[in-house]
Structure 1
């Protein structure tokens, strides 16, 4: 078991970003919303709606129809209320659980309504993670390292219903509120937000579909999430074609003309360090691609990679793989036929060495127990009273897997598995992962299969 060291609060200060990225802290709206994503204390969100509307949501969780509610948000900086926000349940396989994840859309019923520049909250249950905090740790790491990813904070969610059968003060549990990847996010990181944004979900392996025409990518795994300039799926089709067709001896020179490789290497490294098995390399899932339109600066014409949906990380996985010990060049399938992006990129010696160098530096400094254990302990202690309160009440925490408070503590402090899909505690994961030494021979890794 890892020793708990004194509490230390990490400040969300982005390091200098690669050339294609803008420092998001130069965007006034992004700076304004920083006070929302403050992790120094546990925020509280209160939703008030009619009991009839709540029962409507419960009757068909997968309907994805918003109902009106008032939202009050409180943390160390803010105590503010928005009226007539749109709320609904969110999620895929988890949408029918009692501990629902929630979409809170400020713009749905009142056009132009924002909350400190934000259009939406994604209040995620992280129901597979008995610690609740693993995904938040990864996103905070991205935030400190200047890697484009949504911000997050921990929060308690309370529900009040009015009208016949109304109940005041339902405690729904502790959640991770995650930033929406939308135009506000894009403007902060890339200076503009007019290009097409693609939400990529399973089985998005970035291989050519059909004849490779833009209309061939009008499939569920490549959702066109935003498209102000009307480019459609054309840039996506061109990117996948380049990824597939550029000859190996020209790939290092030509691929950076269509893709931001530098930023991708850092995103790939953070997914490997945190064991994001449900991401793009291991599971063909959970990433965004954004095309910076021609004429925009910097990064004109380039595709950008954005990681997201990191609720199953740091040894929460259903594959049986020990992600704390898997080799960094074997984190996902080593095949260019169904994972061309990571495998073709890592087949380039200079890029492979850069990826391994990033991991090696993190494993000596940023991603070590000395650096991470204080924050892990602080977050554990921050949410522990809320876990106890939930267990003593409606027990949303133990809904799906029967987790109890000992499971919560073991999932952070423990040196063994809590469930078949949670192999290590958070402290142990960091300790084991950071001890992985990258042999010099790996820098001579051969071509992908």
Structure 2
């Protein structure tokens, strides 16, 4: 969907792309918090299923739906309130202010939909069902194309946000219906009573709070990076946005393996098979590094073609290709950091990995960006990103290999 939106809006010109780029990190912050909420309950469900406690897993899902709905509505309110103040603080160019504000507003209003999609996908994945969420989320891309054709034509940049929101809404209805009615392990049963259970909420708080603060810290740093890049002009912002979008083709397989690692480790921990949990963690981490390394090599050579699809502006294309190629050298270790985090998360180990991520992105990436942007411009920001991703991968690999997370328990 990022490729679709970026490509379809990119043909409106660099100002349109910059309108989305200036608020992209803020959007990731809010969506990341929704993801943290979903993970805080999904990890528990994975371990309950591993322990064959299916009825309690269903009760946990019911609690998650209610708590997540309330949480996403709170985020929605905050997003609406800070919308225009955020853009002023980011130093948004007046020429793109209205489009950026409208885009972020529509995204914010769709947060409850995004939350339900994230929650149901995570729950199905942690039950071992990867096919249904994969197929439905892939179908969302097709719907996004259809809706975007309609709304971008009439509404421009804000039409992309509306198209994405409607695509998510369509899939949200389907995945919520499937999860609660047809999932063999999670479907609701009329004879099962429901009540809020304090231990489940406590566990969700212990798992989710470090993840939430991690997302706040990481996305806060990315917002600061956007503020660093903003004075470089709309071409730099657009190139930065397109390069990040292209990079997602490299790291999305890593996030797929992260979900698999969380499920496998979570179910093994619930079944008291620590030896198997460690074996799965090692395998998925190694596979993540290999697959992301291979894709990075491919991306290095096909980058010009990718950016020709995303934007017709030659200046934006050239800058995006140059900065992306700098960062591609970090992809294998980036894969290690992503999948190792997922494996640790499956065991409920979120605090230490979150602190490691916090140190890496604030202590390494942001400080280096401030220094290097002065002499290297956007290239310096991406060099700082490359160095930081390598540091992050090494730190999380060390944490995963030490094995202390195997002693975690709720």
The structure whose residues are more often strand, as a share, is: 1
TM-score w.r.t. the length of structure 2 is: 0.29
Structure with the larger RCO, 1 or 2 (CA within 8 Å, 6+ apart): 2
TM-score w.r.t. the length of structure 1 is: 0.27
Pair member with larger Rg: 1
